[in-house]
Structure 1
Amino acid sequence: MRLLQIIDKYHDGGGKERFLYDLTQKIRANDSETAVICLDYSGTSIWGGEIGCEMMTFDKAWRDNVQAFKPDALLWHVSPNTTDEVKELALKYPLFSIVHNVTCPAGTRLFRDKDEICMCSTGLKCMVNWYVRRCGINKAPKEAFRLFKKSQATHDLFKQSKAIYVATQAMKQSLEWEGIDPNQIKLFDITLGSLTDVGPINNVTRQDTILNILYVGRLSYNKGVQYLISAISELKTRGIDIACYIVGGGWYEDRLINLVEDKELRQFIHFIGKVDSVKIKQYYQNADIVVVPSIWYEAAGLVVPEARQAGKPVVVFDSGGLSEWSHMMNHIYVAKRKDSFDLANTILTAKEQRHTEYNDNLFRTMYTDIYQDLLEQDCENYL
């Protein structure tokens, strides 16, 4: 089987890129062949070595390069930026789609005026909400309209897909809001079988009583770090000795730093910036609790199983598919979305239960193995 994977950009650091890397290793280990084509890429070795397959870009010779590879099928890691190329390729090869994020024009399903979740299908009203409900990130009308048309093109391509893979029930629901046939949609294990046993909590041994909180991810409005900062403020008012480490970077960082200073928390909240995978492991090792406070309609959030594999309890907001991890792993604690007071309470609950006796891992085989399903069943039906 020869599988051509399509992604918009391949850079070190993103969850979608990490999944593609892991899937590529599994494909190669099962004696199949794969290649990746993208708009551009930089490093590909952050997760343990070079990706180990041909990397192509959509340059002037891309059609010839694809033809030379002779793919049996396409696996599209969905992005609005590659719809034109995928539309052309889907005329020649069977198309299978993996949806990593919501597919509305804004890509978040979040009304930032009141931090509410949008449950509407993509339509002309999106152009109004882009500015009135602030679901867009202050982009020019021309760019807003471009993304609106790209969202429509994405949904048209779904209708051409032989199968659509999503990681959570929440993502399945988001596609159904867009009018996608639920019979096309399949749930798959986004960890690719790596969570057979996440093990007990790895408590940190140290002399001080400081509670170390860790956030790992992009610093954008929809990631909800502003709510974590407010929760830290609440915990300080209760006399909790606490330190919070924020690992990552992004456009919202300056505003978050200003919020920390306004709340006089600068000595308790530390902005680390972007770090490589080796250093991230050290931050996980030193953490007591990892917090994922996303307020947008997050698909799954690979940082959650990553943190549990590091032996850490995880607190998440009930947003998108994040809460579904609590049905698959132990020591996942769910707080009410956009509620800093409940987030603070849930952090304390996680703190108290860190030393409880280990129970069997809750991971369920409730999802399909995307490799086996795609290559041994779905593809064979169309070849």
Structure 2
Amino acid sequence: MKILKVIHGFPPDYMAGSEVYSYNLVKALSKQVEEINVFTTVENEFAKKYEVYDEVYDEINIHRINKFRRDYAFEEKFHDENIESDFRRYLTRVKPDIVHFGHLSHLSTGLLSIVAKEYKLPIIFTVHDFWLFCVKGQLINQNFDICRGATAEKCHDCSPYQTTIKRVQEKLDYMRGIIDFINIFLVPSHTLRNYFIKQGVSEKKLIYSKYGFNTNKITYKKRYYDVTSSINFGFMGRVIPTKGIRVLIDALKNIDAQLSIYGNIGSQKRFLQQHNIQFKGGYDNNSINQVLSEIDVLIVPSIWLENSPLVIQEAFLAGIPVITSNIGGMKELVTDGVNGFLFDVGNAQSLQECIIKIIHNPSILNDLSVLKKDVRTIEDDANFVYGIYKRVSSY
């Protein structure tokens, strides 16, 4: 069985959640399938636009096409004939039996039609966010309120790209049409699955499948605290508004708690500085074990309906409890008072109360049950996905 994995970015150039997960899955699947290749983009300012090259990274065959992610026109975000032409050539060359998509942002939605109609191959699609129904992917508007339903007018107001309401409506209609080309969706959260069902996607196509992790990469440690213990709170990830950074900063005001932020912040640092916050800078997935060893409690204050945050499950692998917003995939992973604490999304006072509860009595952390076994291994994940491949290969 020959598999082609398609994803908008791939290590070592891109190391966000979906990219790292895709890398781990490809590595695990390579032990089960005859051949697996990766089709992805890269952003190399020293090369020509749409220049292509093949490379081997960590024994993975990768085909990269150069595409700059700045100055997009609205149409180019979703449809790119240059990407499609190269994709056809690559499909003809590697001759996969199944194409497994991870994301189409920065690529082209036309790739689905090419696979299904021209090459008549089955399609698996791992869903990482709401991008198929939302121009920004996060179902959150410019006022940072959760969007309760897409319309051309609302999406036009939200779009970071210059366009018209008519073009947005055409895009929404087109996206709903191409979804029919997908045989199976692998969805890591019930939140996302339920949303897709409400959008008219058949329940039979939507298979709940938790993310798998390289569990050997992170060291589990059971920690014990008493009333004198000093607690190190931590935030890990992209330092952007939808991650709830403003909520977190406000919650830390006027209380005796220490927070370390691990993530690239750039010129925005001066807007977030406080005496009890340390900015540790960015990190890559290879240093995650070291970062986690410096944290007692992880805070994930996102204000959007996160699908299934990898960082929460990585914290669990290290034995670290999590404070997080009470919505979406975050609420699915964290049970209040069991493996962490939930607070009202977007409410700095509610988050502050959780933090104060811990710093006033650190020993309450001893009563939590943060279990490594609750996190799926990448091997189990790959076995499950391989079973899906065998299922669709008979279509």
TM-score after normalising by structure 2? 0.78
Is 1:285 equivalent to 2:306 in the alignment?
Answer: no
Quote the Cα distance in structure 2 between the aligned partners of 1:217 and 1:16.
13
2:182 corresponds to: 161
CA 1:369–1:211: 2 relative to 1, 3 Å: closer
Work out whether residues 318 and 334 of structure 1, in 8 Å CA contact, stay in contact via their aligned partners in 2.
Answer: yes
CA 1:191–1:202: 2 relative to 1, 3 Å: farther
- Give the 5 Å matches for 1:196-235: 201-203=222-224, 210-234=230-254
Quote the Cα distance in structure 2 between the aligned partners of 1:314 and 1:217.
14
Deviates more, 1:355-364 or 1:214-223: 355-364
Which amino acid is the alignment partner of residue 8 of structure 1?
H
1:355 corresponds to: 366
Q: C-alpha offsets along residues 304-342 of structure 1, whole Å, 9 cap, x if unaligned?
A: 011121221111112321111125995232111001111
Is 1:77 equivalent to 2:108 in the alignment?
Answer: no
Residue 63 of structure 1 and its aligned partner are, at CA, apart by 2.7
Quote the Cα distance in structure 1 between the aligned partners of 2:114 and 2:151.
24
Which amino acid is the alignment partner of residue 85 of structure 1?
L
Residue 27 of structure 1 and its aligned partner are, at CA, apart by 0.5
Gapped runs of 5+ residues in structure 1?
43-48, 131-135
CA 1:153–1:32: 2 relative to 1, 3 Å: farther
Which amino acid is the alignment partner of residue 97 of structure 2?
D
- Give the 5 Å matches for 1:119-130: 119-120=148-149, 122-130=150-158
1:118 corresponds to: 147
Is 1:248 equivalent to 2:248 in the alignment?
Answer: no
The equivalent position to 2:61 in structure 1, one of 50, 54, 64, is: 54
Residue 75 of structure 1 and its aligned partner are, at CA, apart by 0.5
Q: How many residues align?
A: 351
Q: CA RMSD in A?
A: 3.4
- Give the 5 Å matches for 1:130-169: 130=158, 136=159, 139-142=160-163, 152-169=173-190
Which amino acid is the alignment partner of residue 89 of structure 1?
V
2:4 corresponds to: 4
CA 1:140–1:72: 2 relative to 1, 3 Å: closer
Quote the Cα distance in structure 2 between the aligned partners of 1:372 and 1:244.
39
Deviates more, 1:344-353 or 1:75-84: 344-353
Residue 102 of structure 1 and its aligned partner are, at CA, apart by 1.2
1:28 corresponds to: 30
Work out whether residues 327 and 362 of structure 1, in 8 Å CA contact, stay in contact via their aligned partners in 2.
Answer: no
Work out whether residues 125 and 185 of structure 2, in 8 Å CA contact, stay in contact via their aligned partners in 1.
Answer: yes
TM-score after normalising by structure 1? 0.80
Identity %: 18
CA 1:169–1:310: 2 relative to 1, 3 Å: same
Q: C-alpha offsets along residues 82-114 of structure 1, whole Å, 9 cap, x if unaligned?
A: 31223212221111111101121121111342x
The equivalent position to 2:351 in structure 1, one of 343, 346, 360, is: 343
| 3-state secondary structure, aligned to 1:345 | helix
